[in-house]
Amino acid sequence: PDDEVVVIGHSMGAITASEVAVRQSARRPVALVLVSPAFLLKAGADLQPPTPPKPHRGLSLGSVLSLRLLRAIVAAFLQAPGVVYSRTFWEKGLDGAAYKRTQLGEERFAAQVLRYRWPSLFRGWSVGLANFVVARLADGASEDLGALRRLLSAKGSGTLRVLIVTGSEDKVISASLTKRLQSMLECEMVVLEGVGHVAHEEEPAKFSEVVAKFVRGKCVAIA
């Protein structure tokens, strides 16, 4: 449809993208593309809301103190020499988790490393990341489950279409977890061969082709 909104989210950004898509779907048609989505799902998680709904319970004092200690440890580790402030840290991390260095070529790989490394050079970045990690550990699974339940409900209304795009070489989000998510959402999924966790950066032409076909309502299978 001409008034359809396209929303795209990658990795943990897929969670935010899902929430945006759900809200927009109440006003207009939405096409949602989730790229290697990183939802935290516990084993046996059910997208059907419990009846009656379970009340939200706050953290105990012991849990709060443990999380604060964990935050301090994570922040100290991230600020240690040779960790996130070093180029080597990002080169090894991206080479192992996201990209195939030989496939990208040295010049393109170096440019990607620099883009990812830039935020870590700002003062306080490590503390911010530590806060984020602790927040995800504290209540990330239940928050993600709630987001998925809202997404499934909105999808059932007929105004929201969902596509999952992932890479066959994704080492960050396992293929089994992505397949499980596809089954839960009952949506289309495309696996790009030889691609890792960031399909839109590794194979932008193929990724754009897939998204364009999905937006136009065509079959998204890759020949």
Is the pLDDT assigned to residue 51 strictly greater than 60? no
CA distances from 118 to 80, 90, 115, 152 (A): 17, 10, 6, 36
Q: At 10, phi and psi to the nearest 5?
A: -115, 140
In the chain, the DSSP E strands lie at 5-10, 30-35, 160-167, 188-192
- Regarding pTM above 0.85, the answer is no
Chain segment 20-49, per-residue pLDDT in tens: 999 999 999 999 999 999 998 776 666 665
Chain segment 120-164, per-residue pLDDT in tens: 888 888 888 888 888 877 776 788 888 999 999 999 988 999 999
Please return the burial class of 93, using the count of CB atoms within 10 Å of its CB with bins 0-12, 13-18 and 19+: middle
Query: What pLDDT was estimated at residue 106?
Result: 87
Q: Is 143 helix (H, G, I), strand (E, B) or coil?
A: helix
Query: What pLDDT was estimated at residue 29?
Result: 93
State the first-to-last Cα distance of the chain, in angstroms, to the nearest integer. 26
Q: Rounded distance, CA 96 to CA 172, Å?
A: 9
Please return the burial class of 26, using the count of CB atoms within 10 Å of its CB with bins 0-12, 13-18 and 19+: exposed
Query: What pLDDT was estimated at residue 223?
Result: 41
DSSP single-letter state for residue 124: T
Query: What pLDDT was estimated at residue 220?
Result: 65
Q: Rounded distance, CA 142 to CA 40, Å?
A: 8
Sign of CA dihedral 33, 197, 13, 49: positive
Query: What pLDDT was estimated at residue 56?
Result: 60
Q: Rounded distance, CA 102 to CA 95, Å?
A: 9
Query: What pLDDT was estimated at residue 181?
Result: 92
Chain segment 110-127, per-residue pLDDT in tens: 888 888 888 888 888 888
Q: Cα–chain-centroid distance for residue 74?
A: 21
Residue range 4-17: average pLDDT?
A: 95
What amino acid occupies position 115? R
